[in-house]
Amino acid sequence: MVSSPALRTALFFAELTERNLLLRCYLFKNVCYNPAFCRSRTCGLVMKAPVVLVVVIVLCHSIKADDSFSGEFPGSGEKDSPETKTNDDKCEPNPCQNGGTCVVNYDLIDGYKCECEEDFGGITCNELQCRISLPQFSSPHCVVKRELSRQIKKTLIRLTSDKDSDYSKSEHLLVPTLSKKGAASFVQSASTDPFTIEWYMKMTDNADVNRDLESHFTLKDPRFHQTPTLIDFAIVFLTFYKEHRKRSAMSSLKLVPAIEENFFKDRCFADQRVAGANPFQLWRAIDNGDVYVNIYPELDGVKMPEALLRDVKFNHTVLQMTSPIAFFVVTKDELGIKRLNPVAIQMDSKLEAKVYTPIYGKDWFLAKSFVQRADYNSLHLIRKRLKVHLYLDAPCTLVEKYFSEYHPIYQVVRQHCRAALETNKLFEIKLFGRSGPIYKVLSVDYSSALEIVNKEYERMTFDDLDLLEDLKKRGVDDVEKLPYYPYRDDGKILYQKLSEFVDAYIDAQYEDDDQVLADNELQEFANELSADGTHGDFAGLGKVKKFPASIKTKAALRQVLTTLFWAFTGGHAASTYPILEYGGFVPNAPHRLFADSNGNTEFSNLMFGNKAVALEIAELSSNLAGIHLDQLLDYSTKIEGNKGREVVEKFHDELKNVGQEITKANDKRVKEGFLPYPYLLPEYVSNSAST
């Protein structure tokens, strides 16, 4: 009876459960000669049976009730189509299977062409080629294929959990991520996967270039371990920067102020709060007022062990991390342009901490360096590592776990998760592992970094990823009060276009809210990702607070996808690419500061370290921000299904207008003496958090 390998495989899966007759119900017509048999089993098992079997039960009844059903499993070819052409021997008997129509065509080598029914293809329509569709609209043949595939993925793919036997809160990240015991081999496999091989090659090539630059410096500089001057720091920075600048968004601008020539100015210091590498820390201090603060609560109380405070490459004492508070006031300059101006810096969040103002000269510069140090430590640990990479690991993992490759949502989200999981594993192994090089650069050790990330993660909600919600929470969304905030203004332009794109894509796939609610693949995804999930053993394991456990409307799906797409694209770009310009020059970005020769916290020529420190920071910055995997929404040719492809192509073309608007805004900023902010130009925004 069982002659096809596909049927034997399906039967094998069916026999793995005591309810195997339910699957046979669909596979073999004679089992279901009485539709009432299958129908009678449905209600009692629907809450217990795996999803694939439940779907099969329903299909069995619906198919047998349809008199037009051929009675043969897809691909058997035993029943001719009633529409077979008979005007030539080439079409008699009908070579086309699965209801395909034979058409005589002497231009072809076989003398005929098969016009296949939906979901079938190949020369004789013998190949099952499922179309892109919501699961509830899949053909009976494709439901079995996509559900069996999903069951296998659900068995193999899982998130890390505090329920794991080897879990220890003091030794592990609280953030759920893809569970992979062979993480190194997982990253290595990207070198052979067509979907990620480009990422792997760019990442390794970029690392090789930076390693060569560092080696060149080490071998040729006879003063390598001496205390450098500002010119020496600039030489190190520019050696790396010139290698990568052609791929930077800054290369698109005509006039670019050099950071090595402006870093010490108060205006440059202030502009970096809203247009630098970390424009996420500024808060309004007083409602309806003009006073703003940069704060770093995530760094409160962070201390490195005394044994680790001696820098081995510089042989000087590393100053302990603090949580400074920088105060700014918006005032008008001589041309009537409103600017953010620094007025005071408190060296730590403790009440007894010293406070400096611009009149303090060198101590004021030291205070600004304390703020810059906090800025880059927070950027690397919280904004980039946690919010851009680790927090997005669970959504990308669960998209792979629950969505069929034929789901229209999977088609686009997959592009925005491209190489993201591999990047995260690579970061955690090579950069943030217990002996990772990041701890030779930052002012924290492995244990402190783990504590900082876990503490901040427990406070996070899904809203923290959303641009508009974040701006509103920090009180910096008022353009009249704070006119110059390029991250906010350019971000809103890009966010709005992404929202329109998501809206159009959803409208192309879902007719109404009922279709959203009936999408079982979407609902299973939300159930595990949301901290409020309730159904099944995996409910809530994603731990994402304020993420809906069930997505019931098109509006809710629109908000979820817009937030995720912003985080994958604009959020990643803003957290990553400015590091190349601002994060590689040590006097502007002191990731750690050093005591003077007497061990005191004072302004001195020793405070930034030596060229060994400069090389570590320049190489780190170039590794993190030196590559762009692709361009925003450039993947229309990779989307299956005409409706989805047309939407992607349309909005990719519309991004040209976004680019022109942002370019025009940057020209105006430079003319008015502000720092430009080209990092959200669409052609320099990658689709995923892949670097």
> pLDDT tens across 406-436, in order?
999 999 999 999 999 999 999 988 899 888 8
Mean pLDDT estimate for the chain? 85
Looking at per-residue pLDDT, the higher value among 71 and 655 belongs to 655
Sequence-distant (6+) residues with CB within 8 A of 377 are 299, 321, 442, 443, 444, 591
- For position 21, what pLDDT does the model report? 38
CATH of range 180-217+265-508+554-684; options 3.40.190.10, 1.20.245.10, 3.40.50.300, 1.10.150.80: 1.20.245.10
- For position 62, what pLDDT does the model report? 43
- For position 68, what pLDDT does the model report? 36
Contact 420, 427 (CB under 8 A): no
Report pLDDT digits (tens) over 283-299: 999 887 899 999 999 99
Report how far Cα 336 is from the mean position of its chain's Cα atoms.
Answer: 41
**Residue 47 corresponds to which tokens in the numbers above?**
């809450």
How far apart CA 287 and CA 338 sit, in angstroms, is: 18
Give the domain ranges of the chain.
Answer: 93-129, 180-217+265-508+554-684
How far apart CA 676 and CA 543 sit, in angstroms, is: 38
Q: What is the mean pLDDT of residues 334-343?
A: 91
54 pLDDT exceeds 50? no
Give the global pTM.
0.85
- For position 221, what pLDDT does the model report? 66
37 pLDDT exceeds 90? no
Binned at pLDDT 50, 70 and 90, residue 106 comes out as confident
Highest mean pLDDT among 23-32, 60-69, 573-582: 573-582
Binned at pLDDT 50, 70 and 90, residue 469 comes out as very high
Binned at pLDDT 50, 70 and 90, residue 597 comes out as confident
Share of the chain above pLDDT 90, in %: 65
613, 614, 618, 624: CA torsion to nearest 10: 30
Half-sphere exposure of 465 (CA within 13 A, CB side): 27
**Which amino acid is present at 506?**
I
How many helices (DSSP H) and strands (DSSP E) are in the chain? 24, 9
- For position 309, what pLDDT does the model report? 79
**Which amino acid is present at 395?**
P
79 pLDDT exceeds 80? no
How far apart CA 131 and CA 497 sit, in angstroms, is: 28
Contact 613, 587 (CB under 8 A): no
End-to-end CA distance of the chain: 54
Q: What angle do CA 526, 529, 534 make, to 5 degrees?
A: 70
3-state SS string for 500-551: HHHHHHHHHHCCCHHHHHCCHHHHHHHHHHECCCCCCCCCCCCCECCCCCCC
Report pLDDT digits (tens) over 666-691: 999 999 999 999 999 999 999 999 98
Report pLDDT digits (tens) over 367-397: 999 999 999 999 999 999 999 999 999 999 9
Sequence-distant (6+) residues with CB within 8 A of 138 are 130, 146, 406
Contact 319, 327 (CB under 8 A): no
Range with the poorest average pLDDT among 252-256, 337-341, 560-564: 252-256
- For position 168, what pLDDT does the model report? 53
**Which amino acid is present at 284?**
R
**Residue 637 corresponds to which tokens in the numbers above?**
């040719």
Looking at per-residue pLDDT, the higher value among 269 and 252 belongs to 269
Range with the poorest average pLDDT among 15-29, 497-511, 566-580: 15-29
- For position 254, what pLDDT does the model report? 80
Range with the poorest average pLDDT among 77-91, 568-582, 584-598: 77-91
- For position 30, what pLDDT does the model report? 33
Binned at pLDDT 50, 70 and 90, residue 169 comes out as low
Looking at per-residue pLDDT, the higher value among 579 and 308 belongs to 579
Highest mean pLDDT among 94-108, 207-221, 485-499: 485-499
366 pLDDT exceeds 70? yes
How far apart CA 399 and CA 392 sit, in angstroms, is: 11
Sequence-distant (6+) residues with CB within 8 A of 563 are 462, 463, 465, 466
CB atoms inside a 10 Å sphere around CB 276:
26
- For position 311, what pLDDT does the model report? 67
Q: What is the CATH number of domain 93-129?
A: 2.10.25.10
Report pLDDT digits (tens) over 607-656: 998 888 899 999 999 999 999 999 999 999 999 989 999 999 999 999 99
